[in-house]
């Protein structure tokens, strides 16, 4: 696989990048973003772009992992839609037909686009619009995501919350197995989907966990 990755400085993107660099099936990774990731690796190339809406067509890669996003909390509705919907579709349209495009959505996304929760409607509209493009599209809907391997959130408050929750993660996993995953599991599941596909285009938290378990390298 040759992977182009968006959102690699975010918490989920960091986990996906880690698994891409560790996986022998991945030949090359191009990270596109507004700031460097601060990582060097023989397979890794970076393109720092201040205006992601102005990207040239992206060629030479067969897989796109789109982990770029923003919380709806404290963000104006217009800005949330611009980043969540408009930017995602703008990037997807720059890719060749038949590219595998894996989009990080979220648990509770509203595919009908008619629900009362605005962020869920916008995410649902984004998933639906991606599905209409000539791409091989998959939407990931993780629930609670526990960062592993030193990965941290860019948001100071979230960093504190995740640090507090870390000792409780085994308990949360036991109590809510259908709603809890990790940055590692998301990365492994994305690679599994890109490599072998999946029987449905929308993957809920249980699908992500099952794929990661199936695709996890022996001894890890």
DSSP letter for each residue of 156-209: HHHHHHHHHHGGGHHHHHHH-TTTEEEHHHHHHHHHHHHHH--SSSEEEHHHHH
Does residue 153 surpass a pLDDT of 80? Answer: no
pLDDT band at 109 (very low <50, low <70, confident <90, very high): very high
Does residue 154 surpass a pLDDT of 80? Answer: no
**Residue 100 dihedral angles phi and psi, to the nearest 5°:** -80, 120
Report the pLDDT averaged over residues 103-114.
96
What per-residue confidence (pLDDT) applies to 157? 67
What per-residue confidence (pLDDT) applies to 89? 98
Does residue 220 surpass a pLDDT of 60? Answer: no
């Amino acid at each position: 696989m040759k992977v182009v990755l968006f959102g690699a400085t975010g918490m989920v993107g960091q986990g996906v990048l880690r698994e891409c660099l560790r996986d022998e099936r991945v030949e090359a990774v191009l990270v596109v973003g507004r700031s460097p990731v601060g990582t060097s690796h023989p397979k890794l190339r970076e393109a720092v772009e201040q205006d992601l809406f102005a990207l040239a067509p992206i060629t030479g890669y067969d897989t796109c992992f789109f982990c770029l996003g923003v919380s709806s909390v404290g963000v104006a509705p217009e800005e949330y839609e611009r980043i969540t919907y408009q930017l995602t579709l703008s990037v997807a349209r720059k890719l060749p037909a038949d590219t595998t495009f894996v989009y990080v959505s979220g648990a509770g996304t509203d595919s009908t686009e008619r629900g009362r929760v605005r962020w869920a409607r916008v995410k649902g509209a984004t998933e639906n619009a991606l599905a209409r493009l000539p791409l091989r599209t998959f939407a990931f809907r993780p629930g609670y995501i526990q960062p592993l391997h030193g990965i941290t959130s860019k948001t100071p408050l979230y960093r504190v919350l995740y640090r507090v929750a870390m000792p409780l993660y085994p308990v949360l996993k036991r109590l809510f197995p259908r709603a809890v995953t990790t940055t590692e599991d998301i990365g492994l599941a994305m690679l599994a989907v890109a490599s072998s596909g999946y029987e449905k285009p929308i993957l809920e938290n249980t699908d992500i966990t099952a794929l990661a378990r199936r695709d996890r390298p022996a001894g890890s």
